[in-house]
Amino acid sequence: MNSSQRGKVIQLYKNLLFLGREYPQGYEYFRDRLKKAFLKNKGVTDQKEIQMLLARGEYVIKEIEALYMLRKYRTLKQRYYAEKDNR
């Protein structure tokens, strides 16, 4: 693994840790699973496979962001309709 890929992997890990703070099952659960996933792929040296794993990590980031947006949308929707019904 060259230094640019190493930096990308570390940045991906940091981004995922940051997103995991609000994970529905808790930060500890998310952090443990994330650590296991990264340790499982620790020995990968093939450049193409590393690129594939980085792309999968970016996909996971997008999915987590979508999960949070959906949760936010549902909360706002419940608040709006709850206020409308109480009038």
Confidence band for 87, pLDDT divided at 50, 70 and 90: low
Decide if 87 is inside a domain.
no
Q: Which pTM value belongs to this model?
A: 0.80
Count of domains for the chain? 1
Place of tokens 């999968």: 56
CA-wise closest residue to 19 among 75, 51, 57: 57
pLDDT band at 72 (very low <50, low <70, confident <90, very high): confident
Please check whether residue 64 lies inside any domain of the structure. Answer: yes
Q: Which domain holds residue 66?
A: 3-82
Whether 66 maps to a domain, the answer reads: yes
Cβ atoms of residues 14 and 8 within 8 Å: no
Among 27-36, 47-56, 76-85, name the one with the lowest average pLDDT. Answer: 76-85
Residue 48 neighbours by CB under 8 Å, 6+ apart: none
Beta strands in the chain (DSSP E): none
